[in-house]
Amino acid sequence: MIKYFLFALKQLAFWLFYFLLLQGVFLFFFINELKDVALSHILYTFKSGFFLNLSAAAYCTILQVIVIFVSTLLTMNAKKTVLTVTTFLLLCCSLIYVTDLALYHNWGSRINGKALWYLQFPGTVSSSAGSIGHLKFVIVVLLVTLGYWFFYKRFFYAVPQLPKNPISLTFTFLVLLSLLFITLRGGISGRPISKGQSYYSKYPVLNYSAINGFWNFFDIVSHYKSQGNPYHFYSAKELVNKQKQFEKDYPSSSAKLSSMDKPNILFVFLESWGVDVVGSLDGQPNVTPGFDLLTKEGLLFSKFYSTGFRTEQGLMATLSGFPAQAQTYPMEDMDRFENYPNLIRELSSAGFYTSYFTGGNPQFANTDVFLQSAGIDKINKELLGKAKRKSAWGALDEETFDWVLNSLNNQPAPFFSTMVTLTSHEWFEAPVKKLFTEKDNVAANFKNTVYYTDSCLRDFIFKAKKQKWYANTLIVIMADHACNYPLNRSMNDPERYHIPMIITGGALKNEYRGTINSNYGGHLSIPALVCNELKIKPEKFILSTNIFNENSFAYFTYDHGFGVLSNKDFVVYDINLKDIIRTKYKSDGLFKIGKYIMQASAQMKEDYQTKK
Q: Angle of helix 588-607 relative to helix 236-249, nearest 10 degrees?
A: 110
Provide the pLDDT confidence category of residue 224 given band limits of 50, 70 and 90: low
Contact status, residue 207 vs residue 198, Cβ threshold 8 Å: yes
Residue-wise pLDDT tens digits, 443-500 = 999 999 999 999 999 999 999 999 999 999 999 999 999 998 999 888 899 999 999 9
Are 474 and 498 contained in the same domain? yes
**Reduced to 3 states, what is the DSSP secondary structure of residue 362?**
coil
**Reduced to 3 states, what is the DSSP secondary structure of residue 476?**
strand
d(CA 478, CA 292): 13
Q: What is the mean pLDDT of residues 131-150?
A: 82
DSSP H or E segment with residue 237: helix 236-249
DSSP H or E segment with residue 598: helix 588-607
Whether residue 35 lies inside any domain: the answer is yes
Query: In which domain, by residue range, is 261 found?
Result: 236-607
Are 214 and 292 contained in the same domain? no
Q: What is the mean pLDDT of residues 127-151?
A: 77
**Which of 96-105, 164-173, 260-269 has the weakest average pLDDT?**
164-173
Are 186 and 246 contained in the same domain? no
Are 191 and 257 contained in the same domain? no
| DSSP per-residue string spanning 303-319 | EEE-SSSSHHHHHHHHH
Whether residue 304 lies inside any domain: the answer is yes
Are 35 and 182 contained in the same domain? yes
- What are the DSSP E strand ranges found in 149-308? 264-270, 299-305
d(CA 449, CA 330): 30
Are 334 and 194 contained in the same domain? no
Are 142 and 247 contained in the same domain? no
Q: Is the pLDDT of residue 118 over 60?
A: no
Running DSSP on this structure, what letter comes out for residue 339?
G
Residue-wise pLDDT tens digits, 308-341 = 999 999 999 999 999 998 877 777 777 678 788 9
Whether residue 228 lies inside any domain: the answer is no
23 — phi, psi (to 5°)? -65, -40
Are 370 and 519 contained in the same domain? yes
Percent of residues, the chain, with pLDDT higher than 70: 91
d(CA 315, CA 579): 30
Whether residue 231 lies inside any domain: the answer is no
- State how far the alpha carbon of 224 is from the alpha carbons of 113, 114, 356, in Å: 6, 9, 31
pLDDT at position 121 is: 56
How far does Cα 391 stand from its chain's mean position? 21
Q: What is the mean pLDDT of residues 374-403?
A: 93
d(CA 325, CA 163): 56
Q: Is the pLDDT of residue 376 over 70?
A: yes
Whether residue 229 lies inside any domain: the answer is no
Q: Is the pLDDT of residue 547 over 70?
A: yes
Rg (CA), the chain: 27
Are 298 and 380 contained in the same domain? yes
Which residues fall within 8 angstroms of residue 135, CB to CB, at 6 or more apart?
none
d(CA 324, CA 557): 6
Whether residue 592 lies inside any domain: the answer is yes
Are 199 and 283 contained in the same domain? no
Whether residue 230 lies inside any domain: the answer is no
Q: pTM (2 decimals)?
A: 0.82
Number of structural domains found in the chain: 2
Provide the pLDDT confidence category of residue 163 given band limits of 50, 70 and 90: low
Are 204 and 325 contained in the same domain? no
d(CA 2, CA 537): 76
Q: Is the pLDDT of residue 129 over 50?
A: no
Contact status, residue 209 vs residue 49, Cβ threshold 8 Å: yes
Are 88 and 112 contained in the same domain? yes
Q: Is the pLDDT of residue 423 over 50?
A: yes
Whether residue 476 lies inside any domain: the answer is yes
258 — phi, psi (to 5°)? -130, 150
Q: What is the CATH number of the domain that holds 304?
A: 3.40.720.10
Contact status, residue 331 vs residue 383, Cβ threshold 8 Å: no
Q: Is the pLDDT of residue 126 over 50?
A: no
Last residue of one domain, picked from the residues 222, 250, 279 = 222
The candidate with the shortest Cα–Cα distance to 446, out of 416, 473, 425, 468, is 425
